[in-house]
Chain A
Amino acid sequence: MAVTDNAARPPLVAARRWRPVLAPSNPALLVIGALVVGFVGYPVAAGLGIFEPAAFARLLTAQNVEPLLNSLLAAALSIVPAAVLGVPLACLCARTNLPGRNAIGLLVSVSFVIPNLLTSIAYVFLFGRNSGLVNVLFYDVLGAPLYDIYSFSGVVFIAVLHSYPLIFFTTLSGLSKINPELEEAGRICGLSPVAVFFRITLGAILPSVMAGVAFSVAESLTMLAGPLVLGSPVGLRFMTTEMYATIVMNPNLPAAVALSLPLVAITVLLLWLQARLLGGAGSAKFAVLSGKGARNEIVDLGRWRFPMMLLALIPVMLSLGLPVLTLLAAALMDQWWRGLDPDNFTLANFAYLFSDQETRLAVWNSALLSVGIGAVMALLGGVLAIVLSGPQTLGKRFLRQLSEFPLGLPHVVAGVLVILAWYGSPFHLGGTLWILAFGYVLVMLPYALKTCEAARGQIDTSLAEAAHIVGCSQLQAWRYVLMPLMKNGLLTTFVLVFLFVVKEFSLTAMVYSAETQTLAVRVFTYFEGGSYEKTAAAAILLLVLTFGGLAVAGRLLKVSLTGIKV
């Protein structure tokens, strides 16, 4: 038997010191790196490439300061009502015996899925100055419209409806993350359940609430649909509508890039703030509703249970019930202004849509893009999550930063960047679905990466190592072990991206052409054309596509909406 030991025998080869190269030659990393650089780095570089100091200087003229102030003011004003709705609602759902609290939570999720284009349009149907049905009804009594949604306050209102679910989600996730022992310690020290809630729980969830606030300010600031539908007709200018104008009305790309900068700067600042508040990069954007917290104290509302439930239903009615019912009613009416006259009901609007070539194309485009981009992003996100795992090299760190960068890109800005990158020479993708697809890949990449990384993180490294040691090449290890184990994460990514793409309006509105309208854009063009009933029918079609897709996903892929919160 060979018996040697280290002390007795000199080394056969003098021990050479060497370091591994910076990024060990990893073909997968190179390929995926090239893709990320192409889809994210290149458009950003293209945007920076045409930056003109002169155009930026013009930003600071009085003419351009107004939209900036309007955007900031609307976002700021929307925050307090959104927090006042979102925080108590989350507390009621998570910590009291409110009847139907799970259903209310689900309805808030659903209302977040309703595009704010549709919400804005629905409220025009009700509160448009002259034609809004409610205003028409009150005109005889008051001699004036009850409320004009075409106003600054109207934009704020839509922002509130879009923001409060976000604050609801982050608050809920904050509540579920609190160590129950913190609260139990309060009880042991002699505090009543209500006192524990106000003196301990609220303080502990404050960072979550503030993170939600930062995120929803960013969302309100970068929203296009509300300002475009409610502000532009009465001459109210916002940052996003200005950008829309510089692309769609009077194309001026340097001006659009100059306008982008303050928007990107503020968005990045808000996301940074949010990440700081949560102590983890961007995690609130991906707060997952666990709905657990079984050990937490449940406050008995007593005889206030039903009054509280009615109160809790008000925001849900405003953000979901009222708009959807309005659109549904309008879609089924011959003439909206005639109201609930039995003779007024018809299916003719839908019949018209199905016969309309452009609408059929729009439905096809939306379905193709949402399913296709969903699948592509699940794959891309999955591969990226696998490749970026393991020891962090400089290359991986750079790739992760680049992949997460689009979080700070408002969709309108992303629209400008993809036009710059792909529209003209050398790629000439203008007027094709590709340019839209590349735009969606750009904005969805961070979300796909996060969802897939969460799935990848749950797989013990030894499972992949075991695959390699028995002889799997990298691709075989993905195929046999990693991808199958990440299946749920990939499906969740698919559904998440599907939802985003099917309702996407801001980016699409900047980039689309006649041939590449999506259903959301089609809703808007009907609305601009002045046909309320056809607009409503198209909107209902969009909702059917959205929720139909979700239902199919739920049935086939066993992925449910409650698992996805963005």
Chain B
Amino acid sequence: MTTQQASFLELDGLRKEYNGVVALTDCSLAIGRGEFITLLGPSGCGKTTTLRAIAGFVRPDAGEIRLDGSVLSAASAHVAPEKRDIGMVFQSYAVWPHMSVRKNIELPLRLRKVPGAEIRRRVDETLQLCRLDGFADRDPHQLSGGQLQRVALARALVYRPRLVLLDEPLSNLDVALREDLRREIGRLHKLIGATFVLVTHDQVEAMSLSDRVVVMRQGRIEQIGAPEEIYRSPRTEFVAQFVGAANLLRGSIAAAAPAAGGADAAARCRVRVGGLTLAVRPWAGAAEGDAVTLAVHPEVIRILPPGQGDRAENLFEGTVRAAYFLGRTQEIVVDVEGVELRTVQVRSETFHAGQPVLLSIPGDAIIPLGRQGQAAAVRPTLLS
């Protein structure tokens, strides 16, 4: 199956500038039918511009958007948003304040000249689907934020669009409601089977809902992949830090793996970072003297009770710099030979600044970055 046949929504070389500032460039993406895709990134990364280009509110300066084989946006054509038959949930809900819940939800059907009885049936069905039974005759100002978001969802789903866009739908909700609605969105996606494109800056949202995550930064796509892949194999420092809040350790290879491509799971190459030498699983193309950046997720760093862990890998002695109680977990910042490591511990033991600790990092959990030419910024200094 080639990608061209399978993709339902295709973005091809999209570019958009606002007054000379590039908001989006070289954005190409193929999304399969029924897929749940998340555009993830900090504000200003171009994710909202991408979404609004798909919706038709933004006309790209260059590139094409195709949905189910027909062109929505191109140099020569631009289909108006109302002609695209796409559903969208807005960040501010955008529930029309002068209409009741029912009127809000039935307007799309009235515009589509659906017969009256059918409208009633489908609105009731959608209300039930979105768990809004009993709210049909309420006015928007009588609803809470979570309920408004459900109305917005219902309005986007009632006409069964092929594609549903969600623009930071949860960002205006408080934490408890957010989790609630996140599960709701996941449930609705599975139930309806439409293609969903979500925009968010919250990596938990992205990870938990998506089939694939598109990490964006400064108007470009940084990495595309399944949530676990994005998390476990970040390709760039930005992805490692933004998605996994990883520690980034810049160092150089002290000794490459003994045999290139050796199948030995225990094979290690040694990387020197500051005063530390870390044993890391070898990767193709690693050569002695190369600069490399290692990403280490805070939760893989283990703090061991004194005297234990003689056989643990990458075992270091360090000093606690700071400890933050976060409720479920605690964040401990440890200084090891001048290298600062953030760790997350679930143990109930308390730590205090100045306390000496023993920590270990499993070599398999250390992620070398810049394996695919991404370390270009670092490499030349060493090669020259």
List the interface of chain A (C-beta within 8 A of B).
1-6, 9, 11-20, 24, 460, 462-463, 465-473, 476-477, 480-481, 484-485, 487
Contacts and interface: CB of A to CB of B under 8 A. Distances in A.
A64 B375 CA distance: 82
A480 B224 CA distance: 40
Nearest to A476: B111
Contacts, number: 132
8 contacts: A2-B3, A9-B3, A13-B13, A14-B13, A15-B26, A465-B81, A468-B56, A471-B112
A400 B160 CA distance: 40
B6 A484 contact: no
B62 interface: yes
B32 to A, nearest CB: 4
A4 B7 contact: yes
Interface stretch (B85-93, B175-183, B355-363): B85-93
A471 B108 contact: yes
Interface of chain B, main secondary structure: mixed
A18 B62 CA distance: 6
Contacts of B32: 1-2
B63 A468 contact: no
* Best-buried of B15, B94, B111 by chain A (most CB within 10 Å): B94
Nearest to B223: A5
B380 interface: no
Interface string B268-309: 000000000000000000000000000000000000000000
Contact of B62 (A9, A16, A470, A480): A16
A460 B91 CA distance: 11
B28 A468 contact: no
B12 interface: yes
Interface residues of B, number: 57
Contacts of B62: 15-18
B81 A469 contact: yes
Contacts of B108: 470-471
Contact of B13 (A1, A11, A485): A11
Given A2-B3, A6-B29, A13 B64 contact: yes
Contact of A15 (B63, B84, B95): B63
Q: Which 4 A-B pairs have the closest CB atoms?
A: A15-B13, A2-B6, A470-B108, A466-B94
Given A13-B64, A470-B107, A462 B90 contact: yes
Contacts of A16: 62, 75
Contacts of B75: 16, 18
Interface string B46-84: 000000000111010111100000000011000011101
A1 B159 contact: no
A437 B29 CA distance: 57
Given A9-B3, A11-B12, A470 B111 contact: yes
B211 interface: yes
Given A465-B90, A469-B82, A476-B82, 9 more contacts: A5-B223, A5-B224, A6-B29, A12-B4, A470-B155, A472-B107, A485-B96, A485-B98, A487-B98
A11 B28 contact: yes
| Interface majority SS (helix, strand, loop, mixed), chain A | loop
Contacts of B55: 465, 469
B45 to A, nearest CB: 15
A4 B12 CA distance: 12
B92 A462 contact: yes
B94 A462 contact: yes
Contacts of B88: 465-466, 469
Contacts of A11: 12-13, 28, 63
A465 B95 CA distance: 11
Nearest to B85: A471
Counting chain A CB atoms within 10 Å of each CB, which of B1, B63, B80, B152 scores highest?
B63
Nearest to A2: B6
B366 interface: no
A24 to B, nearest CB: 8
B10 interface: yes
A481 B82 contact: no
B28 A6 contact: yes
Contact of A13 (B12, B15, B61): B12
Interface in B1-52: 1, 3-4, 6-7, 10, 12-13, 15, 26-32, 35
A1 B35 contact: yes
A14 B28 CA distance: 12
Given A470-B107, A473-B82, A465 B13 contact: no
Contact of A6 (B85, B95, B211, B224): B224
B97 interface: yes
B34 to A, nearest CB: 9
Contacts of B10: 12
Contact of A468 (B31, B81, B159): B81
Contacts of A465: 55, 57, 81, 88, 90, 94
B61 A484 contact: no
Contacts of B224: 4-6
A6 B87 contact: no
B13 A469 contact: no
A11 B11 CA distance: 9
A484 B159 contact: no
Given A2-B32, A470-B107, A485 B94 contact: no
B82 A2 contact: no
B91 A462 contact: yes
Contacts of A13: 12-13, 64, 74
Interface string B93-136: 01111100000000110011000000000000000000000000
Contacts of B194: none
Nearest to A477: B82
B221 interface: yes
Contacts of A469: 55-56, 81-82, 84, 86-88, 156
A1 B28 contact: no
B61 A1 contact: no
Interface string B225-255: 1000000000000000000000000000000
A12 B64 contact: yes
Nearest to A19: B61
